[in-house]
Amino acid sequence: MALKKYKPTTPGSRGTILLDRSDVTTDKPERTLTSKLRKHTGRNNSGKITCRHKGGGNKKMYRQIDFKRNKFGIKAKVSTIEYDPNRNVHIALLVYVDGEKRYILCPKGLTIGGIVESGPEAEIKSGNALALRDMPLGSTVHNIELTPGKGAQMVRSAGNSAQLLAKEDELATLRLPSGEMRKVKVDCMATLGELGNSDWKNIVWGKAGRRRKLGIRPTVRGSAMNPVDHPHGGGEGKAPIGGIPKSFTGKRLGRKTRKPKKASSKMIITNRKGKKISSKA
């Protein structure tokens, strides 16, 4: 995946860097694997805004992704590689030998006509899905389950991968993209290889209108507001924030939000900062 730089023929194109998407083979998704996606614009079930700066954006359909990879022992051929508006990584349409079609997250190096498989007998190569117990140490993996059979929950973003470091009894040790060292049950499924579209992080959108089409609204600084609107607001000219920085709702910034007695803390060896997490649960 290469980057495409634009000539500064307009103010909006000056400095703009986008993906050329030369590896995307079609712009029409598989209709049987799409469903209507209702917009929530950052609101909860009572209509209250719980996530600011969301709204608008182009209409889009949801692509149903196979995060479980539970079709064991049946080979599938890569039919298309597609853009998914709901995530930053591309997706691949698999056609199994029995005729079933499924979408998966597209790993790096997977091309049209490639053969992938899942299950304990699958070959050790990029795109194949196996349980962690069946993978060799040092393997690069993505799309990792936290609970066997629930479906992948970790390492699903463009360019990301984790490394399998050790296996002991019924637990495997993984180094996640954040640097966190974590234990996962060896029966959890994962997909070999690194996720593609790694240049996504280098995009320069160029203008606000391009972000608005993605459903992202403007962010206003708290210090530019009135006192009634934000804890940082008010004052003459450029006034200091007045003490400890606070969020829009008045909560102190920089405070740890992870529960000290969270049950899954016992599975974390070291956090992303290299510090050991207390295992008191």
Residue 157: count of CB within 10 angstroms of its CB: 17
Residues 6+ apart with CB under 8 A from 117: 73, 74, 75, 76, 123, 128, 129
Distances (CA, A) of 134 to 101, 125, 154: 25, 12, 19
Q: How far apart are CA 218 and CA 55, in angstroms?
A: 10
Q: Where are the domains of the chain?
A: 3-200
Q: Identify the three-state secondary structure at position 25.
A: coil
Looking at the chain, which runs of residues are DSSP E strands?
A: 3-5, 17-19, 34-36, 61-63, 76-82, 91-96, 101-105, 115-116, 129-131, 140-142, 144-145, 152-154, 162-168, 171-175, 181-185, 189-192, 268-270
Residue 281: per-residue pLDDT: 42
Q: How far apart are CA 154 and CA 21, in angstroms?
A: 25
Residue 134: per-residue pLDDT: 96
Residue 260: per-residue pLDDT: 86
Residue 243: per-residue pLDDT: 87
Positions in the chain whose pLDDT score sits under 50: 281
Residue 124: per-residue pLDDT: 96
Q: CB–CB of 66/103 below 8 Å?
A: yes
Residue 276: per-residue pLDDT: 80
The reported pTM is 0.91
Structure tokens at 8: 């500064």
Q: Which CATH class is domain 3-200?
A: mainly beta
- Placement of tokens 């994962």 in the chain: 190
